Amino acid sequence: MSDALEQALEAAFAEATRRYKERGFQRRIGFGSKPALISVDLANAWTRPGNPFTCEHVDDQIIPSMQALLKSFRKYDFPVVHVTTCYQITDRKNSNTDMGLWHDKIPVDVVAQSNPELWAIDSRIAPIEGEQLLIKKRASSFHGTYLAGYLRAAGVDTILVTGVTASACVRETICDGLADGFRTIAVKEAIGDRVPGAVLWNLFDIDAKFGDVETTETCLKYLDRIGQAKLASEKLAA
């Protein structure tokens, strides 16, 4: 992203922040007592070069942040859900397609279920045994899936959302997560997009209305705090 664009966005954010605060926006939802990690579309079609959906800053920002988060979630045995997107019928002329009408806007027809290499989670952050792999058909990880029920059954009250893209699937997942009663946390360095400026703008707007944007470092400290308390409680109960 160019310096000029970044400066223009920062100026817009400063003015928007002033207006929002005057009107009571940008409140904090806060962390809860049991988190889950929701990793959105960090599959090869989005993380590897040469695809229509390829995003920026995957190698230098998103993957390292995800690796740190996964290490902590696994250490404390908190739920992890890897979300990806693919379609059984990618013939745009077939009225039975599971793409719905989304293919009329974006090239979702390239992510065919018959080509698992495209929709497989990036091997650098691949699921391990006990972690959920959820396939969605629309932007939100909640729309038409079992995600909310799974999280409630696990006693989750807080979702740390990562992945791509900030302007679509991550944003929609956060909005629906809040609507379904979960504390929504957007992990700043672990969220990306294809378009310069899209991450900055969407994270600013999400933080004002739909969830708290927190750094990876802040999230790791939170996980350590509640994770250590969890281990201590389990030790006493043993």
What residues are annotated to the active site? 169
Angle ∠(190,139,25) on CA atoms, nearest 5: 65
Q: From 79, 76, 47, select the one nearest 191 (Cα to Cα).
A: 47
Residue 150 CA: distances (Å) to CA of 102, 133, 157, 166, 230: 26, 12, 12, 24, 20
Please name the residue that has the structure tokens 């890897």. 82
User: Could you give the CA distance from residue 181 to residue 222 in angstroms, rounded to a whole number?
Assistant: 20
Q: How many CB atoms lie within 10 A of CB 69?
A: 23
Cβ 9 vs Cβ 201: under 8 Å = yes
User: Could you give the CA distance from residue 228 to residue 74 in angstroms, rounded to a whole number?
Assistant: 13
Token pair for 211: 């969830």
